[in-house]
């Protein structure tokens, strides 16, 4: 069977392509931006990629088209697909019908931490001896791929609340029918498709209505919006986790450097161990995964031991270079809460050293100005901030950043931003590039400039 994927170079749709190839399908696809690493990964799988959205690519007459949610009416290939009456599905629907059916699905949902939590959970299950399948919106370093079919009954999926496709405006996660669900946190996001938090809560409520009584819901006890969600209706046993306050499972650090963690459960479960991550947000991610792994019979002790060899996720506080004692990181943070947590984590791990950040506000929610006030607040603890200003930012953007005062360096040109950074960063600095896109290669450019000018 031949499937053709529209928007194939996104992490999710690229994962669909990998799973389809593993199942023996012929897979082709198209996208508007075809570049490494996804293009390279797909070509290694034998996937032919067409650049652009013209109708001619459908002349090969695929048996089915899998439509990514970047597609919309009016796009030439979409109109041709409809006019020619070619069968089509969304990515989540294809995944549900061809991969998830009959398996124990672990779904990881929430505003923040989905990728890291799903990656930790997949690694815990792997270390416990299971060939677990997964589809994750990032690349776990331990696996080197964002998706695999796996041979066990277990499948871990990052359960995104973004809409499914132009013809299906439900959240992606309603297709997955999980048995074990992790709810990390819940905030307002995706302002381009949801008018307010209540609209997002309603989508999560639809997910809750699909969970079986024999399943499990793993909930962050400290999140008030998740408490509201549970109160809307829950028919599945709930277990809670937290780093502070009352919860079934408690997680804490052992020592100020956050190199060791401790987990305690309600039935005497307890374990301590080392890990390679840091930050309170990642501790929440880790304990959520540890609790969920019990659904597969993995003990708390065994799960904590697996964390010692978990290497993190690419683009999630990933240190990509160290030049002249200047550490450079790539981070996917694009929401004020995630930005604040990243800065806090670096401050604790590297006390006495400057934390400097470069931010590309790229998400639709940011561009609409929804997070203007919170963005300035989230950056207050950084020592220096370089902010790239896209041309289509909200008109009040600069005024909202005024509280950052002399810490802020604002640019509408990425090359000028990098040149300015290269003259101001110092030995010992922790330099973080924050974007849910490529930042125009700014991180790589700064690395090259520093290697040329600071290394003798």
Which of 307, 341, 365 lies at the terminal end of a domain, its last residue?
Answer: 307
Number of domains in the chain: 3
> Are both 256 and 155 inside the same structural domain?
yes
- Strands 168-171 and 163-165 come out as antiparallel
Phi, psi dihedrals of residue 216, rounded to the nearest 5° = -145, 145
> Are both 122 and 38 inside the same structural domain?
no
Q: Tell me whether residue 245 is in a domain.
A: yes
Q: Tell me whether residue 370 is in a domain.
A: yes
Alpha-carbon dihedral sign for residues 407, 413, 414, 416: negative
Burial 162-179 (b: 16+ CB within 10 A, else e): ebbbbebebbbbbbbbbb
pLDDT at 213 > cutoff 70: yes
Rounded Cα–Cα distance for residues 388 and 417 (Å): 7
What percent of the chain clears pLDDT 70, i.e. is strictly above it? 97
Per-residue pLDDT, 411: 92
> Are both 323 and 303 inside the same structural domain?
no
| Model confidence pLDDT, tens digit, residues 92-103 | 999 999 999 999
Assess contact for 409 and 442: CB atoms under 8 A.
Answer: no
Assess contact for 156 and 134: CB atoms under 8 A.
Answer: yes
Q: Tell me whether residue 97 is in a domain.
A: no
Q: Tell me whether residue 96 is in a domain.
A: no
| Model confidence pLDDT, tens digit, residues 402-426 | 888 889 999 999 999 999 999 999 9
Q: Tell me whether residue 11 is in a domain.
A: yes
Q: Tell me whether residue 35 is in a domain.
A: yes
Band (pLDDT 50/70/90 cuts) for residue 364 is low
Phi, psi dihedrals of residue 424, rounded to the nearest 5° = -115, -20
Peptide bond into 424 cis (omega under 30): no
Band (pLDDT 50/70/90 cuts) for residue 398 is confident
Q: Tell me whether residue 312 is in a domain.
A: no
DSSP letter assigned to residue 313 = B
pLDDT at 335 > cutoff 90: no
Which of 90, 115, 140 lies at the terminal end of a domain, its last residue?
Answer: 90
Lowest mean pLDDT among 226-230, 247-251, 395-399: 395-399
> Are both 173 and 54 inside the same structural domain?
no
| Model confidence pLDDT, tens digit, residues 119-141 | 999 999 999 999 999 999 888 98
> Are both 432 and 290 inside the same structural domain?
no
User: At how many degrees (to 10) do helices 197-208 and 224-232 cross?
Assistant: 50
Assess contact for 62 and 84: CB atoms under 8 A.
Answer: no
Residue given tokens 């956050």 in the structure block: 258
| pTM of the shown model | 0.82
Rounded Cα–Cα distance for residues 415 and 411 (Å): 9
Rounded-to-10 torsion of CA 176, 181, 187, 189:
-20
Per-residue pLDDT, 367: 61
**Collapsing DSSP states into helix, strand and coil, what is residue 33?**
coil
What percent of the chain clears pLDDT 90, i.e. is strictly above it? 68
- How large is the average pLDDT for residues 295-312? 94
Cβ neighbours around 439 below 10 Å, total: 22
Domain at 21, CATH number: 3.40.50.720
> Are both 109 and 131 inside the same structural domain?
yes
Per-residue pLDDT, 369: 60
Domain at 130, CATH number: 3.40.1190.10
Domain at 445, CATH number: 3.90.190.20
| Model confidence pLDDT, tens digit, residues 137-188 | 888 989 988 899 999 999 999 999 989 999 999 999 999 999 999 999 998 8
Rounded Cα–Cα distance for residues 96 and 173 (Å): 10
Per-residue pLDDT, 103: 97
> Are both 127 and 262 inside the same structural domain?
yes
> Are both 121 and 254 inside the same structural domain?
yes
Assess contact for 93 and 164: CB atoms under 8 A.
Answer: yes
Q: What is the CA radius of gyration of the chain?
A: 22
Residue given tokens 């931490």 in the structure block: 113
Lowest mean pLDDT among 10-14, 77-81, 208-212: 10-14
Band (pLDDT 50/70/90 cuts) for residue 296 is very high
**Collapsing DSSP states into helix, strand and coil, what is residue 148?**
strand
If you average pLDDT over every residue of the chain, what do you get?
91
> Are both 240 and 329 inside the same structural domain?
no
Q: Tell me whether residue 225 is in a domain.
A: yes
pLDDT at 370 > cutoff 80: no
Q: How far is CA 223 from the centre of its chain?
A: 19
Domain that holds residue 34: 2-90
The total number of residues written for the chain in this structure: 456
- How large is the average pLDDT for residues 299-323? 90
Assess contact for 385 and 408: CB atoms under 8 A.
Answer: yes
> Are both 301 and 323 inside the same structural domain?
no
Q: Which two tokens stand for residue 332?
A: 């996917």
> Are both 177 and 44 inside the same structural domain?
no
> Are both 131 and 31 inside the same structural domain?
no
| Model confidence pLDDT, tens digit, residues 27-59 | 999 999 776 667 777 888 899 999 999 999 999
- How large is the average pLDDT for residues 301-308? 95
Assess contact for 150 and 125: CB atoms under 8 A.
Answer: no
Which of 90, 120, 142 lies at the terminal end of a domain, its last residue?
Answer: 90
Per-residue pLDDT, 365: 66
């Amino acid at each position: 069977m031949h499937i053709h994927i529209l928007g194939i170079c996104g992490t999710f749709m690229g994962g669909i392509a990998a799973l389809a190839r593993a199942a023996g399908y012929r897979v082709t696809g198209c996208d508007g931006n075809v570049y490494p690493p996804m293009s390279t990964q797909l070509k290694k799988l034998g996937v032919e990629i067409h650049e652009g959205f013209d109708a001619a690519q459908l002349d090969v007459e695929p048996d089915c088209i899998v439509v990514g949610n970047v597609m919309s009416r009016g796009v030439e290939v979409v109109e041709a697909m409809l006019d020619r009456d070619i069968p089509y599905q969304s990515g989540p629907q294809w995944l549900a019908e061809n991969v998830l059916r009959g398996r124990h699905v672990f779904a990881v949902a929430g505003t923040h931490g989905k990728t890291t939590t799903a990656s930790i959970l997949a690694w815990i299950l792997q270390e416990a001896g299971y060939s677990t399948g997964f589809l994750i919106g990032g690349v776990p370093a331990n696996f080197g791929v964002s998706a695999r079919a796996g041979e066990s009954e277990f499948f871990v999926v990052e359960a995104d609340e973004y809409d499914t496709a132009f013809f299906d405006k439900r959240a992606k996660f309603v297709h997955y029918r999980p048995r074990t669900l992790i709810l990390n946190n819940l905030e307002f996001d995706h302002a381009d498709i949801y008018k307010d938090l209540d609209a997002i809560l309603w989508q999560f409520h639809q997910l809750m209505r699909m969970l079986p009584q024999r399943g499990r819901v793993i909930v962050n006890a400290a999140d008030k919006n998740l408490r509201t969600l549970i109160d809307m209706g829950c028919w599945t046993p709930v277990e809670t986790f937290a780093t502070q306050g009352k919860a079934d499972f408690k997680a804490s650090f052992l020592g100020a450097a956050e190199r060791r963690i401790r987990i305690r459960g309600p039935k005497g479960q307890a374990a301590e161990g080392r890990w390679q991550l840091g930050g309170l947000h990642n501790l929440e991610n880790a304990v959520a995964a540890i609790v969920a792994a019990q659904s597969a019979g993995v003990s708390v002790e065994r799960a904590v031991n697996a964390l010692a060899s978990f290497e993190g996720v690419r683009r999630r506080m990933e240190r990509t270079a160290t030049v002249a004692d200047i550490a450079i990181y790539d981070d996917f943070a694009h929401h004020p809460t995630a930005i604040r947590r990243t800065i806090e984590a670096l401050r604790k791990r590297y006390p006495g050293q400057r934390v400097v950040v470069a931010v590309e506000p790229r998400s639709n929610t940011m561009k609409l100005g929804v997070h203007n006030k919170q963005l300035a607040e989230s950056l207050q603890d950084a020592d220096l901030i370089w902010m790239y200003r896209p041309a289509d930012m909200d008109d009040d953007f600069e005024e909202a950043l005024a509280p950052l005062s002399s810490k802020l360096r604002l640019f509408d040109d990425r090359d000028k931003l990098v040149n300015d950074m290269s003259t101001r960063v110092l030995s010992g600095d922790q330099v973080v590039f924050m974007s849910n896109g490529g930042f125009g290669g700014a991180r790589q450019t700064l690395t090259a400039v520093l290697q040329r000018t600071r290394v003798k």
